[in-house]
Amino acid sequence: MAKASAVCFALLPTLNGPLSSASAGSQHSPEHLSQDRRPLDLLAGTPASPSGAAATMFSCVKAYENQNYAALKRGCLRRKVLFEDPHFPATDDSLYYKGTPGPAVRWKRPKDICEDPRLFVDGISSHDLHQGQVGNCWFVAACSSLASRESLWQKVIPDWKEQEWDPEKPDSYAGIFHFHFWRFGEWVDVVIDDRLPTVNNQLIYCHSNSRNEFWCALVEKAYAKLAGCYQALDGGNTADALVDFTGGVSEPIDLTEGDFANDEAKRNQLFERVLKVHSRGGLISASIKAVTAADMEARLACGLVKGHAYAVTDVRKVRLGHGLLAFFKSEKLDMIRLRNPWGEREWNGPWSDTSEEWQKVSKSEREKMGVTVQDDGEFWMTFEDMCRHFTDIIKCRLLNTSYLSIYKTWEEVQLRGAWTRHEDPRQNRSGGCINHKDTFFQNPQYIFEVKKPEDEVLICIQQRPKRSTRREGKGENLAIGFDIYKVEENRQYRMHSLQPKAASSIYINSRSVFLRTEQPEGRYVIIPTTFEPGHTGEFLLRVFTDVPSHCRELHLDEPPRTCWSSLCGYPQQVTQVHVLGAAGLKDTTTGANSYVIIKCEGNKVHSPVQKGTSMPEYNVKGIFYRKKPGRPITVQIWNHRLLKDEFLGQVHLKAEPDDLQALHTLHLRDRSSRQPSDLPGTVAVRIISSASLTAI
């Protein structure tokens, strides 16, 4: 039975926020870059991105709330006024969706908070950010990761030179800024004014080390505008912010469930994957589950904090030893650098700032790693210790879709869908998970193909983010997930009965759910669902494969009736033919390289070639909507040869609806209709037929 899992402290932990409740059920189990503070004039050029997607992802940006930044700024400069955003005003409505503020909050422009306000001071760094009074360490951790990625922050903060204060041209400042975020399949341009909430002339939310640096406070304000208000950022998922900054795909990893602390082989494999994501421009975060509300932000003896998001700011193999001996010995240690968004309180175990382990590393290596001895919230630890003390890692992968890249290129399909209610079961699209067998197949269905013998498939569904309002409060996510089924090679219409399950995601009340799976060649159907039936909402389905998957939604339940149906006939029966395998085929020195062809009324289904065996397992299915059920279905077996394929035998199937013998083991025969004779070998075939076209 399906089981929903709460987003809090699960695979995608909600941090700095209240606990969510899990939905019960029973059949699904839900389940190296160092610090860079170069002057910004050296960072101005957009570098060749490690991901082709990052180079082109801003080719089309949609104006949020239809606010055009350039037009609004021109208008303000023409009228010589500072911009005031009517969509996110300097009022309590932009601070809270419920309750009332404690101390008196005053909205101030940077020029009223300090002298010489700047967007950036001495460049940009993960050390710039400090979490404020709202519980959004998850967002600040994501910003810390973003700050270490030049090609990414220059996209989130577009035209940064044009947006920077120019002391020599004060009349060119209009109090308006804009930022880019990826939301629900598209990039949006969010415009804000520069009025920021303060108490006693101090920023109360995200702020920088430098009193006159405002990039992080302004990015936070734009993100709060997207969410509805600042309070909506209290408790959330780092995974969501990482995706919103990159357009990538977040993959959660439960370190405890995978037992990575004790399984060295699995841990080494995971480190290589984390290193690859980091080296290719991805963003990473880590956290420790807080089991109860009392555990939230509890500091452990090792210095780490529970229920708290840490940004991963570097991943590398560190060379141990000194001088040439270290070079030739080539002993390396898997290490990772993290940062606490509070800007203080660090890990105090092995390889912490003042630990004696650093004597094993040469001075030049330490300088290259940017090792500092100060309580700045950033620290190194071995990957083994990380797996032992942290419970979750979130990897945000930038999936390259550019053929010009030197890295692996993924084929991406994005499809928008919705769970909708309707009284007519044939039109209802909110059937709930597999626990609800009567309505499960009423959900949206999507078909895709794997065209390689074995291929890695990445699938992500994301529900549309809910915007908080004072009247409605913070929007809660639905518990969502999806199942993947292997179906007939020629299926064109919706599934109506269970097929072999190929993979299944967890069910969780998170904004998005991700699954990485490897599947053999064939055709598959994805069924995204809410955990409970009757729940409605929009979603985005993203499918990544090595070669084009032709992913599309299945809209029709059966073949449509057209004006030609009366002339050409309409199907009277549906039949599924499943060829499991064969035995005793004609022997050769190397075994047969055989394949199957299923033929029915001019339609054919081919299986892949099974090489070098006289007992192949085909496991191939075809579905046929038959206008002339009296005609038999033919199953042929062929031996693949270089010049001309060799016929090995065939069988004819009547496949009548009242045939109760579902599994047939039949002797192969030749194609002579006059004198049928048995050929070497048998074929195992499973048949299902029905007069109802929506039975399979």
Whole-number average pLDDT of the chain: 85
Query: What is the mean pLDDT of the segment spanning 559-586?
Result: 89
**Buried/exposed 69-85: b ≥16 CB within 10 Å, e otherwise:** beebbeebeeeeeebeb
* pLDDT over threshold 60, residue 20: no
pLDDT value of residue 88: 96
pTM for the predicted model, two decimal places: 0.84
CB 425 within 8 A of CB 694: no
pLDDT band, very low/low/confident/very high, at 672 (cuts 50, 70, 90): confident
**Phi then psi dihedrals of residue 632, to 5 deg:** -75, 160
How many Cα atoms are found within 13 Å in the side-chain-facing hemisphere of 303?
A: 23
**Per annotation, catalytic residue among 237, 340, 435, 477:** 340
Instruction: Report the range of poorest mean pLDDT among 192-201, 395-404, 479-488.
Output: 395-404
CATH superfamily of 250-321+329-397: Cysteine proteinases (3.90.70.10)
Check if 340 is active-site.
yes
The DSSP bridge partners found for residue 372 are none
- The reply to whether CATH 2.60.120.380 applies to domain 411-554 is yes
Domain ranges of the chain: 62-245, 250-321+329-397, 411-554, 568-690
Per-residue pLDDT of 124-134, as tens digits, reads 877 677 777 77
C-alpha 35/C-alpha 500 separation (Å) is 50
| CA–CA separation, 438 and 432 (whole Å) | 10
**Cα dist from 561 to 558, 570, 629, whole Å:** 9, 7, 18
Q: Which two tokens stand for residue 172?
A: 């060119």
SS3 for 55? helix
Instruction: Give φ, ψ of 312 to 5 degrees.
Output: -85, 115
Predicted pLDDT at 170:
87
Q: Of the listed 178, 207, 308, 578, which one is catalytic?
A: 308
Q: What is the mean pLDDT of residues 36-63?
A: 45
Q: Averaging pLDDT over each range in 162-171, 325-334, 362-371, which range is the top one?
A: 162-171
Give the pLDDT of residue 675: 56
Q: Per the residue annotation, which of 8, 137, 216, 551 is the catalytic one?
A: 137
CA distance 407 to 398: 11
- The pLDDT value given to residue 676: 57
Q: Are 443 and 429 in contact (CB under 8 A)?
A: yes
Q: Which of 34, 35, 10, 32 is nearest to 20 (CA)?
A: 10
Q: Computed over its alpha carbons, how large is the radius of gyration of the chain?
A: 30
Give the per-residue SS3 of 356-411: HHHHHECHHHHHHHCCCCCCCCEEEEEHHHHHHHCCEEEEEECCCCCCCCCCCCCE
Note the maximum CA span of the chain. 101
Residue 298 CB partners (closer than 8 Å, separation 6+): 290, 305, 306, 307
Q: Rounded to 5 degrees, what are φ and ψ at 259? A: 50, 40
Place of tokens 């077996």: 637
Please name which of 395, 380, 273, 274 lies closest in space to residue 336, comparing C-alpha atoms. 380
**69 in the Ramachandran plot: left (φ > 0), alpha (ψ -120 to 50) or beta?**
alpha
Spatial contact of 614 and 585, defined as CB atoms under 8 Å apart: yes
Distance in angstroms (rounded) separating the CA atoms of residues 419 and 480 = 11
pLDDT digits (tens, 9 = 90+) for 404-449: 777 778 899 999 999 999 999 999 999 999 999 999 999 999 999 9
Phi, psi of 141 (to 5 degrees): -65, -40
The CATH topology of domain 568-690 is Immunoglobulin-like (2.60.40)
pLDDT at position 151 is 85
- pLDDT digits 0-9 by tens, 76-121: 999 999 999 999 999 998 998 876 666 789 999 999 999 999 999 9
Q: pLDDT band at 372, cuts 50/70/90? A: low
The secondary structure of residue 295, as a DSSP letter, is: G
539 secondary structure, DSSP code: E
Indicate if 568-690 has the same CATH topology as 250-321+329-397.
no
Question: Would residue 591 be called left, alpha or beta, if left means φ above 0 and alpha means ψ between -120 and 50 degrees?
Answer: left
Q: Above 80 in pLDDT, residue 282? A: yes
What pLDDT score was predicted for residue 37?
Answer: 35
